[in-house]
Amino acid sequence: MNDTNISVVDSKTLLALFGPRDQYLRKIRSAFGVVIAVRDDQIHIEGNPEAVAKATTAIEQLKSLVQRQGEIGPHDVSKILAAITGQPALVEHAPIEKLNVGKTVRPRTPGQAAYVQAILDHDLVFCVGPAGTGKTYLAVAMAVSALRQERIRKIVLVRPAVEAGESLGFLPGDLQAKINPYLRPLLDALREMMDYEQVKRLTDGDIIEMIPLAYMRGRTLNDAFIILDEAQNTTVAQMKMFLTRMGQNSKIVVSGDTTQVDLPPHTRSGLIDALARLRGIEGFCEIHLQKSDIVRHRLVQQIVEAYEADDNQPVQRKRK
């Protein structure tokens, strides 16, 4: 057996290092099979020499991270432990914080876990996948979490209003009445995260904004989490316009399904175009979710498969 001690600067650092209800401490103990205790402002680690050395390295790295950024999250702990143990990071079980109490969002598949990790690690994330894979829901959950942790000051939820040709002036009602039908899926996801009064207070205060894509022109958004939903229905020009709205300390998540493009014939999808253009750019990440990532009703996956099978059938032409 071997043991070592690590000095702790203050109780605030210790609390951040061990995590809520000591969940990070338990992860470190489990990863290396060591005993960890706090004695006289020191972290005491005991176990076999190799395990103690690895656990010490992990705690020192996490301690440095806490001192640099003030806090750490489950993804930070998973990444450091994975690097030291040589095992893949188990991020699929990491919960996503929410503004309301009592309900927690977690990635439910490896693909969703990779999506969440990509949002944590990159400022520009494109997620492509079929209906029901959680593309929008998880992005909204991550935005709400970032707002709660004060890593951003604003959430902007955007959708192209293709069905109205982006010309909303001919629709009845005021602006909110005109755009509500197109933004309803984003609002539904948001209300899963917060109660009605929270949503109303934050939207009235312009902290959460839900707008059609056409209304993004000319803006620069700093300290914002910006989500573009149904991105397959943007044109190349619209996508360029949207992506260049990104300001300092902002994050953009773009989601869509390249099999459900509703643009006019011979119009290239801005999502498909951007995926080809942006590969290789630092800070950009591309995630593809599959049928196995569908988490809606069990029939949704079978419905997607049925339509895919039909799309793959050769077209039968009638003989004259």
Alpha-carbon torsion (182, 188, 194, 198), positive or negative: positive
Residue 163's nearest CA partner among 181, 189, 186, 188 is: 181
In this prediction, residue 164 carries a pLDDT of 43
Distances (CA, A) of 157 to 20, 37, 66, 179, 255: 30, 45, 31, 12, 11
- Exposure on the CB side of residue 11, measured as CA atoms within 13 A: 1
Mean pLDDT of 77-86: 84
CA–CA–CA angle 300, 305, 311 (5° rounding):
130
Residue 29's nearest CA partner among 37, 38, 40 is: 37
pTM recorded for the entire structure: 0.65
Does residue 168 surpass a pLDDT of 60? no
Burial of 30 (0-12, 13-18, 19+ CB in 10 A): exposed
**Around Cβ 75, how many Cβ atoms within 10 Å?**
17
Res. 91 pLDDT band, cuts 50 70 90? very low
Yes or no: say if 92 and 134 are a contact pair by the CB < 8 Å rule: no
Mean pLDDT in the chain? Answer: 82
Tell me what percent of the residues of the chain surpass a pLDDT of 70: 82
What are residue 288's DSSP bridge partners?
128
Say which residues have a Cβ less than 8 Å from residue 289's Cβ, sequence separation at least 6: 111, 112, 115, 127, 128, 129, 130, 133, 134, 135
Does residue 317 surpass a pLDDT of 70? no
Question: SS3 for 129?
Answer: coil
DSSP string computed for 251-309:
EEEEEE-TT---SPTTPPBHHHHHHHHHTT-TTEEEEE--GGG--S-HHHHHHHHHHHH
Res. 68 pLDDT band, cuts 50 70 90? confident
Does residue 33 surpass a pLDDT of 60? yes
Q: Which residue has the higher pLDDT, 236 or 98?
A: 236
Residue 300's nearest CA partner among 54, 133, 118 is: 133
CA distance 78 to 88: 9
Q: What is the tally of helices (H) and strands (E) in the chain?
A: 11, 9
CA distance 208 to 201: 9
Does residue 274 surpass a pLDDT of 90? yes
In this prediction, residue 318 carries a pLDDT of 44
Mean pLDDT of 124-144: 93
Does residue 240 surpass a pLDDT of 50? yes
Burial of 68 (0-12, 13-18, 19+ CB in 10 A): exposed
Res. 313 pLDDT band, cuts 50 70 90? low
